[in-house]
Amino acid sequence: MTITMSALSAMDADELLPTGTVTLLLADIEGSTRLWESQPERMATALATMDQVVADVVDATNGVCPVAQGEGDSFVVAFTRAADGVACALALQRAALSPIRLRIGLHTGEVMLRDRGNYMGPTINRAARLRELAHGGQTLLSGATSDLVHAALPDQAWLTPLGCHPLRDLTRPERVAQLCHPDLVNDFPPLRRSTMPVT
């Protein structure tokens, strides 16, 4: 999910990506390599569907996608409002994308621009490490994002606290919450990289 180079050249840098305090949504496909090996034709169709769904949902929730950020089948979306990021995550998880199951992490913080179309630094790194904890179909919020949206969640949505967990290569553990909704699977195994909360 990228912005085309023609669109990039037509946009001012300040219009392209939000700066200051930003909510970043990072998502990837659980078991992407395995799915491509076992179901290549189905995955090609599903990925085309996902790309269109992502484009529509990001547009509807006021998100902006960095130009070329995200490896493989992953993608990044930036939001000036944390509530919009959560609404985007919920819409993506509710979409019919089988066999694709998205792992999503949301974190809010001060961002650094690598160039006019991509982020770098601690905020996007923390969002990426948070995403690593998730299972397919699961959306995880950092403590910073949870605090901003707990009173402004989408209709029928709620947050389930999952405790404080270490993040790979980062010194500070993260207070993690799961975004839940009646339309989603809400019961998952322990988080991927930490089965016991940090005390």
pLDDT one-digit tens code per residue, 103-141: 999 999 999 998 888 999 999 999 999 999 999 999 999
What is the model's pLDDT at position 10? Answer: 37
Look up the CATH superfamily of 18-180.
Nucleotide cyclase, GGDEF domain (3.30.70.1230)
What is the model's pLDDT at position 117? Answer: 84
Hey, where are the domains in the chain? 18-180
Question: Which residue matches tokens 């949206």?
Answer: 149
Amino acid at 26: L
Kindly state the DSSP code that residue 180 receives in the 8-state scheme: E
What is the model's pLDDT at position 12? Answer: 39
Rounded distance, CA 17 to CA 142, Å?
Answer: 21
Rounded distance, CA 158 to CA 150, Å?
Answer: 8
Rounded distance, CA 24 to CA 80, Å?
Answer: 9
> Which residues are 139's β-sheet partners?
104
| Predicted model pTM | 0.88
